[in-house]
Amino acid sequence: MTFLYHKEAYNITDILSVQVYYYYYLINQFLTFYIRSLSVY
């Protein structure tokens, strides 16, 4: 993934895909933490 964007070539779908990947990462981190905290009991 390259971050060498020109301003006129900056695509909205790139921003959306980055946001989707970021939220997927956050949910994944939260789920792994939640499952670990459940497995303590």
Residue 28 has pLDDT above 70, yes or no: yes
Region 17-40 average pLDDT: 90
- pTM here? 0.51
Integer CA distances (angstroms), 36 to 22, 23, 32, in order = 21, 20, 6
Q: What local confidence, expressed as pLDDT, does residue 1 receive?
A: 44
- Both tokens of 4, joined, read 């060498």
8 pLDDT above the threshold of 70:
no
pLDDT greater at residue 19 or residue 12: 19
Q: pLDDT > 70: what percent of the chain? A: 68
Tell me how far CA of residue 15 lies from CA of 7, 11, 20, in angstroms: 13, 7, 9
